[in-house]
Amino acid sequence: AQKVTQAQTEISVVEKEDVTLDCVYETRDTTYYLFWYKQPPSGELVFLIRRNSFDEQNEISGRYSWNFQKSTSSFNFTITASQVVDSAVYFCALSGSGTGFQKLVFGTGTRLLVSP
Amino acid sequence: NAGVTQTPKFRILKIGQSMTLQCTQDMNHNYMYWYRQDPGMGLKLIYYSVGAGITDKGEVPNGYNVSRSTTEDFPLRLELAAPSQTSVYFCASIPGQGAYEQYFGPGTRLTVT
């Protein structure tokens, strides 16, 4: 079975703090894809990153970075020097051959509140 | 390109009423999906389609129906609305099998009272 766990329901930080959002996944597939989406208060879903299971290199995009570790089945997301505009719900998601047809299995999300 | 569009944005239904949520994409994508997002939860797959005329159930299909007569459109039908169907509904699409991120529509917020 495919499963994504985001154990942190809500995180509150003060602007300029660094914050890491955890994502742990379960799958029996050898080929799979991991995603992060952002859902700001306006409600739309914004794609942030896609990572395939064969690429364990960490990725950095501006203030955002992702740490993928197959050994611990984790795909954590770090925001450096957080800003108020980062306040949103962040979802980790998984798709693989087990889900079929690229269906996504989502975690329950982590709500990030960044205060000035 | 407009991407994925959904109508309506908001709707209030009475118990037992029916309605159709519309989803259209102009990217010529083959795969389309319907998800629901309950308060404080992640998205759960209702139905999906891999091409015109082909649909299949997702994780939570009960109470819903879909059709896919064209590549562009993937409407979701609620036949007898129930309070448990109060949710935000998202439609999404991708070109086809492969490493694609899903393109999501803006969502439809549905309340059943």
Among candidate residues A41, A49, A36, A34, the one with its CA nearest the CA of residue A2:
A34
Percent of chain B surpassing pLDDT 90: 86
Predicted local confidence at residue A109, as pLDDT: 97
Q: Do residues A73 and A24 touch, judged by C-beta distance below 8 A?
A: yes
Bridge-based pairing state of the strands B76-78 and A88-96: unpaired
Retrieve residue A64's tokens: 């955002």
Of A101, A102, A106, the CB nearest to B43: A106
Chain A residue numbers with beta carbons less than 8 Å from the beta carbon of B33 are 103-104
Retrieve residue B98's tokens: 């492969």
Of A33, A43, A107, the CB nearest to B42: A107
Residue of A45, A92, A99 to mutate for B, most B C-beta atoms under 10 A: A45
Q: Spell out the alpha helix ranges (H) of chain A.
A: none
Distance in angstroms (rounded) separating the CA atoms of residues B80 and A90: 32
For chain A, what is the largest distance between any 2 Cα atoms, rounded to a whole number of angstroms?
Answer: 43
Which residue's structure tokens are 């739309």? Answer: A44
Average confidence (pLDDT) per 10 residues, chain B, 113 residues: 92 97 95 94 94 94 96 96 97 84 94 97
Q: Does A45 touch chain B (CB under 8 A)?
A: yes
Retrieve residue A79's tokens: 């925001």
- In angstroms, what is the C-alpha Rg of chain A? 14
**Cα of B23 to nearest chain A Cα, Å:** 15
- In angstroms, what is the C-alpha Rg of chain B? 13
**Cα of A39 to nearest chain B Cα, Å:** 11
Q: Do residues A111 and A9 touch, judged by C-beta distance below 8 A?
A: yes
Among candidate residues B41, B36, B42, the one with its CA nearest the CA of residue A94:
B42
Q: Do residues B20 and B66 touch, judged by C-beta distance below 8 A?
A: no
Per-residue pLDDT of chain A (116 residues; tens, 9 = 90+): 789 999 999 999 999 999 999 999 999 988 899 999 999 999 999 999 999 898 888 888 999 999 999 999 999 999 999 999 999 999 999 988 756 677 889 999 999 999 99
Among candidate residues B40, B43, B65, B44, the one with its CA nearest the CA of residue B55:
B65
Distance in angstroms (rounded) separating the CA atoms of residues A33 and B2: 26
Residue of B30, B31, B37, B43 to mutate for A, most A C-beta atoms under 10 A: B43
Please measure the distance between the N-terminal and C-terminal CA atoms of chain A and give it in whole angstroms.
Answer: 41
Amino acid (one-letter) located at A67: N
SS3 (DSSP) at A73: coil
